[in-house]
Amino acid sequence: MTTTRTFTMIKPDAVANGHIGNILAMITNAGFKIVSLKLTQLTVSDAQAFYAVHAARPFYGDLVEFMSSGPIVAATLEKENAVADFRTLIGSTNPAEAAEGTIRKLYATSLSQNAVHGSDSDENAAIESTFHFATREEF
């Protein structure tokens, strides 16, 4: 069995609304193994760097401000087909379009404050995980 990794953040809205425990339970109940985990906060420059791929998008400034506005939970997850299966578990970017039972359907408040991040490729999962975690924080 080949396991792969993805990277997630529980975003400031979901942390502030008290959903850390429920979201981590959904993640582990879906078969993901947590290999790195921490409560942390992005500086403005951290958020600019993490989301540099979106720098030209009209929502970039709001995204950076939101993602640096309060604590987040960062985690690296392991499972077969981790990237795609995790994006299925979290649901569409816009919670109004997210399927029933997905994390965003249950816990997101809006398109911009949508509770969780999920990597979009194996390559970005590795880059994002390395952005947040030292080797000694990976299990």
Residues that bind Mg ion (CB under 5 A): 120
54 among known catalytic residues: no
Please give the torsion angle defined by the CA atoms of residues 7, 134, 69 and 88, in that order, rounded to the nearest 10 degrees. 10
87 annotated to a ligand binding site: yes
Taking the complex as a whole, the smallest distance from the CB of residue 137 to Mg ion amounts, in Å, to 23
Say whether residue 95 binds ligand RTP (CB under 6 A). Answer: no
Q: Which residues pair with 78 in a beta bridge?
A: 5, 33
**Is residue 111 close enough to count as binding ligand RTP by CB under 6 A?**
yes
CB 10 within 8 A of CB 73: yes
- Is 118 a binding residue for ligand RTP by CB under 6 A? The answer is yes
Coil vs helix vs strand at 98: coil
**Minimum separation from the CB atom of position 121 to ligand RTP (A):** 10
* Neighbour count for residue 103 (Cβ, 10 Å): 26
Shortest Cβ 98–Mg ion spacing (Å):
14
Fill in the amino acid letter for 72. Answer: I
Q: Are 130 and 74 a contacting pair, CB within 8 Å? A: no
Contact residues toward ligand RTP (CB under 6 A) are 59, 63, 93, 111-112, 114, 117-118, 120
Q: Which residues are catalytic?
A: 117
Instruction: List the binding residues for ATP.
Output: 11, 59, 87, 93, 104, 114
